[in-house]
A and B are shown apart, each in its own frame.
Chain A
Amino acid sequence: MTNQLNNKFDRPPQRGLPYLLSLPALLALIGILYPFILGVYYTFTNYNLTTSDNIKWIGLKNYIEIFSETEFWKALGITFIFALSVVIIELSLGLSVAILLSHPFPGVQLLRALLIIPMMIPPIVSALMWKVILLPTNQGVLNYFLSFLGIGPIAWLGDSGTALISLIIIDVWIYSPFAILIFIAGLQSLPKEPYEAARVDGASGWFVFRKLTLPLLAPNIVLITLFRLIDSLKVFDIIYATTKGGPASATATLHIVSYFEAFRWNNIGRSMVYLFILWILCFVFAKFLTKLWNRMLMR
Chain B
Amino acid sequence: MFRIRKIFDETMEQDVDEMKKSKIKLTGILRVIGLSAYFTFALTPIIWILMMSLKNHNDVIATPPKFIFTPTIENYKAITVGMKSYAFESVRPDFPKYFLNTFIIASFTVIVSLFLGTIAAYSLARFSFRFKEDIAFTFLSFRFAPELMVILPLYVVFQKMHLYDTFVGLILAYQLITLPFLIWVLRGFFEEIPREIEQAARVDGYTWWGVFRRISLPLVKPGIAAVVVLSFIFAWNNFIFAMILGSERTQPITLGILGFIGYERVLWGQMAAATIICVIPELLLAFFVQKYIIRGLTFGAVKG
B180 within 8 A of A: yes
A60 within 8 A of B: no
- Are B257 and A9 in contact (CB-based, < 8 A)? no
A232 within 8 A of B: no
- Are B16 and A182 in contact (CB-based, < 8 A)? no
The CA of A250 and the CA of B247, in the complex, are separated in Å by 34
Please name the residue on chain A nearest to B3 by beta carbon: A191
- Are A236 and B154 in contact (CB-based, < 8 A)? no
Task: Kindly specify which of A16-24, A64-72, A160-168 makes contact with the partner chain.
Answer: A16-24
With contacts A25-B120, A185-B302 known, is A173 near B42, CB below 8 A? yes
A-B contact count (CB 8 A): 302
The CA of A140 and the CA of B49, in the complex, are separated in Å by 13
The CA of A33 and the CA of B287, in the complex, are separated in Å by 35
Partner of A230, one of B143, B195, B236, B293: B143
B198 within 8 A of A: yes
- Are B6 and A191 in contact (CB-based, < 8 A)? yes
The CA of A217 and the CA of B132, in the complex, are separated in Å by 26
Please name the residue on chain B nearest to A284 by beta carbon: B144
A155 within 8 A of B: no
Residues of A with C-beta under 8 A to B233: 119-120
B142-190: which have CB < 8 Å to A? 142-150, 152-154, 156-157, 172-173, 175-176, 179-181, 183
B205 within 8 A of A: no
- Are A117 and B137 in contact (CB-based, < 8 A)? no
A251-283 to B contact mask, C-beta < 8 Å, 1/0: 000010011001000001001100110110011
B253-276 to A contact mask, C-beta < 8 Å, 1/0: 110011000000000100110010
Residues of A with C-beta under 8 A to B119: 21-22, 24-25
The CA of A69 and the CA of B52, in the complex, are separated in Å by 44
- Are B148 and A6 in contact (CB-based, < 8 A)? no
- Are A144 and B38 in contact (CB-based, < 8 A)? no
Task: Kindly specify which of B59-67, B70-78, B82-90, B213-221 makes contact with the partner chain.
Answer: B59-67
- Are B16 and A255 in contact (CB-based, < 8 A)? no
B297 within 8 A of A: yes
Interface residues in A, total, Cβ within 8 A = 111
Partner of B176, one of A29, A120, A140: A29
- Are A121 and B275 in contact (CB-based, < 8 A)? yes
Partner of B11, one of A31, A35, A192, A259: A192
A10 within 8 A of B: yes
B58 within 8 A of A: no
A231 CB → nearest B CB, Å: 8
B228-242: which have CB < 8 Å to A? 230, 233, 236-240
A106-129: which have CB < 8 Å to B? 109, 111-126, 128-129
Partner of B150, one of A32, A101, A219, A296: A32
Residues of B with C-beta under 8 A to A220: 301-302
B141 CB → nearest A CB, Å: 6
Where chain B touches its partner, the secondary structure class is helix
A39 within 8 A of B: yes
The CA of A111 and the CA of B135, in the complex, are separated in Å by 39
With contacts A113-B290, A128-B271, A191-B304 known, is A173 near B45, CB below 8 A? yes
A95-108 to B contact mask, C-beta < 8 Å, 1/0: 01100111111000
With contacts A144-B64, A182-B297 known, is A1 near B124, CB below 8 A? no
Residues of A with C-beta under 8 A to B144: 230, 234, 279, 282-283, 286
Please name the residue on chain A nearest to B102 by beta carbon: A122
Partner of B202, one of A9, A126, A189, A282: A9
- Are A111 and B297 in contact (CB-based, < 8 A)? no
- Are A189 and B148 in contact (CB-based, < 8 A)? no
Residues of B with C-beta under 8 A to A111: 35, 39
A188-225 to B contact mask, C-beta < 8 Å, 1/0: 11111001000100000000000000001101100100
B103 within 8 A of A: no
Residues of A with C-beta under 8 A to B1: 1
Residues of B with C-beta under 8 A to A105: 31
A-B contact list, 6 entries, CB within 8 Å: A122-B238, A234-B146, A258-B146, A258-B149, A275-B146, A279-B149
